[in-house]
Amino acid sequence: MKSIFRTVSPRRQTNRRAFSDAAEETYKFVRDRGLDHAVEREKNLRPLLSIKDLVTSEPSKSLPISVITSRKDSLRVPFRPIEFIRSFPSVFHESLPGGIQPQISLTPETLNLDAEEQLVYASEEYKQGLADRLLKLLMINRINKIPLEILELLKWDLGLPRGYAETVVPEFPDYFRVCRGELELVCWSKEHAVSVLEKKAKEYTKGAPIAFPMKFSNGFVVDKKMKRWIDDWQKLPYISPYENALHLSATSDESDKWAAAVLHEILNLFVSKKVEKDLVLHLGEFMGLRSRFKRVLHNHPGVFYLSSKLRTHTVVLRDGYKRGVLVEGNQLVTSRNRYMKLMSKVKKENSAVSSRKREDKGKVEGGEVCETEAKGEGDDVSGSEVEDEREEDVVVDEDEDDDVVDDDEDQSMKRGRRNSSPRAGRRSFGSQEKPHTRSRAGRRSFGKSGSQEKPRSGRRNKVNLTTEKSS
């Protein structure tokens, strides 16, 4: 094994200009829609593939729902397993083979995708790339070994296949080996001890400054003080993440830039260039860099983006994405995208069916409303004819006795005084009082118009006409 220690002058170790001191007052978190979408689009993909792997591990390629329910937490199923499975009928098949407990299997489309995924894991190209990434991760760690438990937590992000310790590790005896529950380095590789930033730098001399690519979210404000701090930080010498710089003061700017280089290189080793914050901090705790990783994530929002989607915090490498799309893909990412396409296909079909149902329901309700309106119009016509007949009878009766007119006028004047009294006003406050009239047509027109103007009484008008004729 080989480790390199850089000597740094004490002046540089103590020359610390904290980011919080320089720009904490103006540093405000701004969301990045593209990177948030990159995180959110994989919603339900991980638990779905975990259930798929569990089903395919059975000889019969099926298992009862009780087995999935008992492993809900380890499979990271967000809600009831049976509801989750029924949400993706094109991925899972549910049956009741002579019992009351559902049996879960995979559809032919899912089996085909699983066969393609296993071919990816078995290909020599993918195995070599995976071995190189594991080798680089071991060389970054100062003790050159990582427990298998931590690798199991990072299995999804590293793209490790099932049983990698028995299948992949033995094929690279010059790289690493499994010893006492840990994956440890066998031989240091100078060829692999080159970071991504060093490869991208066309002309690089050891110890020279290398600027980190920075991208800020739209709307992120960088004031003069913060910009000055970033420019000075970028001009500091670049220390390779494969060098051990733990002897540097944890509060120095050089240590901060080295920790950023380590985290930047680790995220480049992951398949999707992103990882949950808790997992990378757990790895950093084992490497003795947890506090430095937390400081780096806070101090450099232009290098690392922290997404809060999917009810967790995900660290995303900004220069690994362009407009929310992964810049450098691989065979495993392509396979996962096919699973997501199959999942979204079911959602589109369900949304199309539900929209057709809503349209049909709207047509039915529209037809019923038209029929109801037609019936209502017929009722109004018949009712008006009946009322006209009744009003004619009233006119005949009023011709016989003119005293009825005087009595009605007196009663209407008394009702007007009662309505204008304060007590009546308090009773009618907040409510709409209907006019006092004997005409049904007047009440119907009042309810439809919604105005408080009293309709004219047809009876009184006709009574006035009869009195003029009699005079």
Q: What is the pLDDT of residue 146?
A: 97
C-beta neighbour count of 158 within 10 angstroms? 18
DSSP character at residue 435: P
Take residue 75 and report the two structure tokens written for it. Answer: 């499979």
Mean pLDDT of the chain: 79
Type of residue found at 103: Q
Q: What is the pLDDT of residue 203?
A: 67
Indicate whether 221 pLDDT > 60: yes
Work out the angle between the directed axes of helices 45-56 and 331-400 (0-180°, nearest 10): 120
Q: What is the pLDDT of residue 98?
A: 74
Pairing assessment for the beta strands 92-95 and 103-106 based on DSSP bridges: antiparallel
Q: What is the pLDDT of residue 44?
A: 94
Indicate whether 428 pLDDT > 50: no
Phi, psi of 148 (to 5 degrees): -65, -25
Which of the four pLDDT bands, split at 50, 70 and 90, describes residue 174?
A: very high
Lowest mean pLDDT of 7-16, 200-209, 314-323, 412-421, name the range. Answer: 7-16
What's the pLDDT tens digit per position in 278-310? 999 999 999 999 999 999 999 999 999 999 999
Lowest mean pLDDT of 53-67, 147-161, 340-354, name the range. Answer: 340-354
Indicate whether 447 pLDDT > 90: no
Burial class from Cβ neighbours inside 10 Å (0-12, 13-18, 19+) for residue 296 reads buried
Which of the four pLDDT bands, split at 50, 70 and 90, describes residue 91?
A: very high
Q: Work out the average pLDDT over 419-432.
A: 44
Listing from the earlier edge strand, what are the strands of the sheet with 314-317? 274-276, 314-317, 304-307
Give the C-alpha separation, 462 to 274, whole Å: 88
Lowest mean pLDDT of 46-60, 119-133, 300-314, 369-383, name the range. Answer: 369-383
Q: Work out the average pLDDT over 227-245.
A: 94
What's the pLDDT tens digit per position in 199-215? 988 766 776 789 999 99
What's the pLDDT tens digit per position in 125-154? 999 999 999 999 999 999 999 999 999 999
Indicate whether 350 pLDDT > 70: no
Give the C-alpha separation, 407 to 289, whole Å: 101
Take residue 181 and report the two structure tokens written for it. Answer: 């529950």
Indicate whether 94 pLDDT > 90: yes
Lowest mean pLDDT of 59-63, 293-297, 396-400, name the range. Answer: 396-400
Q: What is the pLDDT of residue 27?
A: 67
Torsion of the alpha carbons at 93, 97, 100 and 101, rounded to the nearest 10: -50
